[in-house]
Structure formats: C-alpha cells, structure tokens
C-alpha cells in the first residue's frame, strides 16, 4: 500500500515531522505533501526511461499547487494542461512552456492565443472543429501551431466508468479509424504543423495490458501515416498508471516501461507521457480531527472536521482510502466506525466500517490524498477550503493558506437598498 507516512514511537510521521505537530501548528483539516515522495515518484519515470528520447509531462489536473509544480519543474518535468488556469500556474511555478502539452476537449480561442503566445510544445487536438479554430487562431497571430491529434483507440482500461476515456462511447479524442483523413487535412493547413499522435485511455489503471494494446494501435496508425507521407516526431501514450489505495496489485513504473519500451525499438519518435496520480497520490495525506463520536444504536460514527467538499473521491467514486490515527491511542477501545463529515449529505463520508481505536479530539490521517484531493475541493456548505503544507525532511512550509470568510465572499455584493415606502 502507501508507504509515505510511517509510525515512529507510536506517532505517524511524514518524512521527519510528526503529523500531530503539523495539525497543531497549521490546524485541521489540511493536506500535507512530502517533497521527497514527489521527487522520487517523478524520478521513477525518468530513470525507467533511461536514454530513450522522452518528455514526461506531469498531469497538472491531479494536483496543481504551485509548490508541487515548482518541485517537479526543478527536476525538468514537462506539464500536461487542460485549461488557461493550469497554463498560468505552470508558468508561475517556473515551468518551461516548450515542455507543455495542451489537452482537453473544449479549448477556446483565448486559451489557444495565450498558449501560442508563450510557445507551448504542442496542442493535443480532440476534434476537427478544434483543429479548424486552432488553424484560424494561429493565422491571426501569424504563428504555426504544433499539433498532436488525440485519437480514441477504443481500448477498455478496466477502470471506474467516470475515469475511462479511451472507449468509443467516451467524449474524448478522434476515432482512430477516421484519424488518417483528419491528419491529411491537418497537414494541408497553412498554420498547423503535425508533430505527433496522442491517446489517454483512462485513470487508475492497474494492469499493463491496456497500455500495450493502445500502443499497438498507435504504432499501426504511425505506420499508416508514414505511408501517406506524414512523419510524426512524437508518440504520446498519456497517463493513467494506477496506485495502491488498498490492496490493489499495481505495476511499478519500471515494470510498465520494461513492457512498453521494446515496442518502440528502432523507432525515432520521442515518447511523451502524462502521469499524474502515480506521481502525487501517495505523496500526500489529509489530516482531520475527530470532533464527536456518535452511536445511533446501529452504527458508530466518527464525525470529523473534513468533509466531501475537501476530499470528494469517496463520495463521487465510492473510492476506498485508508484512514488511520496519527497517534496510537492505547486508552481507546477499537470499534467499527463510519468516518463522516459535517456536510448535510448522507453521501458525505470518507470511509465506512473502519476498525479504529479513537477518542474525541484525536487526529486522523487519510492516506493517498495527494491526487484529486484539493483540486476537486469546493466551498459547498460555505466551507472555506483548507490549507496545504509541504514537508521537506524536518521542515514544513505552508504552501496555501486556509481560506477565510473574506475569501468565501470575495467578488460578491449585495443588491442596492431600495425605498420600500
């Protein structure tokens, strides 16, 4: 399972800092990330790829905190973005625009203009309509837009239906069977430079075979395009490698690469990858405090100060995420608890039927919270979004302040008073 946090003297630590100390200093709930874990997860890709020509574009959507992006940029990471906001975040964090790929099904002209202005690596185009708009937008700026078509290989990633993206029934990409004619059309456009092919078949994929099936179909397309006189510079296999949240058997990055790279032997194209969850998920935790212990005659509830608006995955995907006390409480009797939050929804739970020895006032740690945690949080029930902290060895840094009530109402205003007389 996860191994980022560990018990020492009955206290849970992240790197060399006790999580209870972080909770005391920064308050709860809060997300905490290990800088070393982020670095090691990224380097696992870099080391496994070795001297193969490659570009690792971290999927910003999984965790877009500026300090997280900065940590990865300092290691030479590229970035996979899906919005103007993500582009600007990468630039603020020191990311190299020439290592940015722009994905997403609904890029608008303003987003295209800004991406062209800063000189991104390429656009992952997902439809003919988008291709036409990009050609027009680039012409208006007297620029050439580098393009990779995102094709839909119709591969079943065997993951949750909400995060499966490579089937014909999904909204993403261009039917791989229609791709050759669209490539020919793109190659004939004045302000488009065809540079690659891209696919992304899903997220939290726990076996290698779907990736290999997708690569086989991409390579067949590459050869078909070559016969038409269209030579590609890169092949983008996307992201999606899963992580162990519970007891899943997930392949290592090294195992994945050992099966993928032989497929590319003798081919000149650069391999582009877009990992997200596999870099950030197990680098982070969510700290929360037990406000009340409640028994309704049928169940025990640990009511905590974190909620579905802070961590949506359990409510949205019925995702299992490990929950453990930050300090082992020898005075408490173990029991089965549903760990639930303050939000007024029955679906506001973080874990069900968990064996925990806890008391009111204890802190709990929700593991594997570094990906799709804060980025999916909201202000539902007018709850301020929580703080984010990074641990670097024995040092802690507040990398996002907890929101205030003033933050909650920023930009809002009351209607003018009218004379009711």
For 21, the 3-state DSSP assignment is helix
- Rounded Cα distance between 194 and 203, Å, is 27
Q: Give the C-alpha separation, 281 to 98, whole Å.
A: 26
**Residue 57 known to be catalytic:** no
The continuous run of DSSP H or E covering 30 comes out as strand 30-34
State how far the Cα of 282 lies from the Cα of 173, in Å rounded to an integer: 29
DSSP state of 278: H
Within 13 Å of residue 119, how many CA atoms lie on the same side as its CB?
A: 4
Strand 192-198 to 174-175 pairing: unpaired
Angle at which helices 66-73 and 84-92 cross, to 10°: 60
Q: Which of 30, 57, 122, 344 is catalytic?
A: 344
SS3 301: strand
Q: Is 110 exposed, middle or buried (0-12, 13-18, 19+ CB in 10 A)?
A: exposed
Residues 6+ apart with CB under 8 A from 225: 180, 183, 197, 231, 232
Dist. CA 21–CA 329, nearest whole Å: 16
d(CA 110, CA 397): 35
Positions marked active-site: 344
């Amino acid at each position: 399972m996860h191994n980022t946090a560990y018990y020492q003297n009955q206290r849970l630590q992240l790197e060399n800092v006790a999580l209870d100390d972080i909770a005391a200093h920064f308050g709860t709930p809060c997300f905490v990330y290990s800088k070393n874990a982020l670095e090691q997860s990224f380097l696992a890709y870099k080391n496994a790829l070795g001297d193969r020509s490659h570009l690792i574009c971290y999927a910003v959507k999984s965790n877009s905190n500026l300090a997280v992006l900065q940590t990865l940029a300092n290691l030479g990471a590229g970035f996979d973005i899906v919005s103007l906001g993500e582009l600007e975040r990468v630039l603020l964090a020191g990311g190299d625009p020439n290592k940015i790929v722009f994905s997403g099904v609904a890029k608008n002209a303003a987003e295209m203009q800004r991406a062209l202005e800063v000189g991104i690596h390429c656009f992952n185009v997902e439809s003919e309509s988008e291709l036409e708009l990009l050609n027009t937008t680039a012409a208006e700026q007297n620029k050439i837009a580098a393009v990779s078509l995102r094709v839909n290989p119709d591969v079943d990633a065997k993951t949750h239906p909400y995060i499966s993206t490579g089937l014909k029934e999904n909204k993403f990409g261009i039917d791989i069977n229609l791709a050759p004619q669209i490539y020919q059309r793109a190659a004939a456009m004045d302000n488009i430079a065809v540079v690659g092919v891209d696919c992304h078949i899903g997220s939290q994929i726990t076996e290698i075979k779907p990736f290999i099936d997708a690569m086989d179909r991409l390579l067949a397309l590459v050869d078909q395009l070559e016969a038409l006189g269209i030579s590609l510079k890169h092949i983008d296999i996307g992201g999606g490698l899963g992580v162990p949240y519970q007891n899943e058997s997930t392949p290592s990055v090294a195992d994945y690469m050992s099966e993928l790279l032989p497929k590319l032997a003798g081919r000149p194209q650069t391999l582009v990858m877009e990992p997200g969850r596999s870099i950030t998920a197990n680098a982070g935790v969510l700290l929360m405090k037990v406000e009340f212990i409640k028994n309704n005659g049928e169940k025990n509830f640990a009511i905590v100060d974190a909620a579905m608006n802070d961590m949506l995955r359990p409510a949205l995907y019925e995702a299992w995420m490990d929950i453990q006390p930050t300090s082992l409480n020898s005075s408490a009797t173990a029991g089965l608890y549903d760990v639930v939050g303050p939000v007024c929804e029955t679906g506001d739970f973080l874990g069900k039927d968990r064996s925990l020895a806890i008391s009111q006032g204890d802190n709990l740690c929700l593991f594997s919270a570094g990906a799709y945690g804060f980025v999916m949080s909201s202000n539902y029930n007018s709850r301020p979004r929580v703080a984010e902290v990074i641990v670097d060895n024995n040092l802690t840094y507040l990398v996002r302040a907890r929101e205030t009530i003033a933050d909650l109402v920023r930009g809002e205003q009351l209607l003018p008073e009218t004379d009711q007389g």
